[in-house]
Structure 1
Amino acid sequence: MELEITLDRSWADSLTVDDYQDLLDRGWRRAGSVLYKPEMEKTCCPSYTIRLRASDFVPSKEQQRVSRRMQRFVDGALEVKKSVEAIEDPSICASACNEVSSLGTKETSSF
């Protein structure tokens, strides 16, 4: 399995609302203080922007189920079954970790 994520990336400590909106309109996204612009034609995992008012959000039954399951996992109350493949060949996990750590990104500070 080959995984490649391509994006431009920059750091921002503070932005005005207008500057941030301008970047969003040009395809840039933000995670914390990191600004990034995915290269949709080159990436394996296209990103989709969803904007909504959090106060208006009503989770579906499936989302509530997943949330409860995740909470049980975090609390240590969920019994997690290991896949037979991973148990029989522990190098699978090491191989997957190596692929993720070698993901290529190109950095830029231009807007």
Structure 2
Amino acid sequence: MASRAQSEMSEAVAANDEMVTEAVAEPEAASVAPGMAADSAAPSYRCELHGKVRRIEVSYLNPSALVPCEVNYLKEVEAPGQTQALWSAEQEVGYCEQKASDFVAKLKEWGWQCQ
């Protein structure tokens, strides 16, 4: 019975990974907005589910500004050292931060524990 539950959990995690890929397949275009100085600490989240770890991080391509930016997705256990850029913005301040926050909320809906 335990092995069936483990198998079902593995399938659920794999299905979540497929949903992640589908959810980020077509990022929205950023609209024009003025830039401002970047905070010293970019948003970063760590999510766990059944021994798997995901990190979602906002990175600023210019350390002194909030744009351009990227939302990066890392699978620490399955693909250490590999980063997937999910969304990016050239001019819309707050776009990356909002996308990261929305994505973490979706992971929580799927059962991930995020902080």
TM-score class, shorter: under 0.3
The structure having more radius of gyration, on CA atoms, is 1
Structure in which a larger fraction of residues adopt strand:
2
TM-score, reference length from structure 2 = 0.24
Higher relative contact order (CA 8 A, sep 6+): 1
After TM superposition, the score normalised by the length of structure 1 is: 0.25
- Give 1 or 2: higher helix fraction: 1
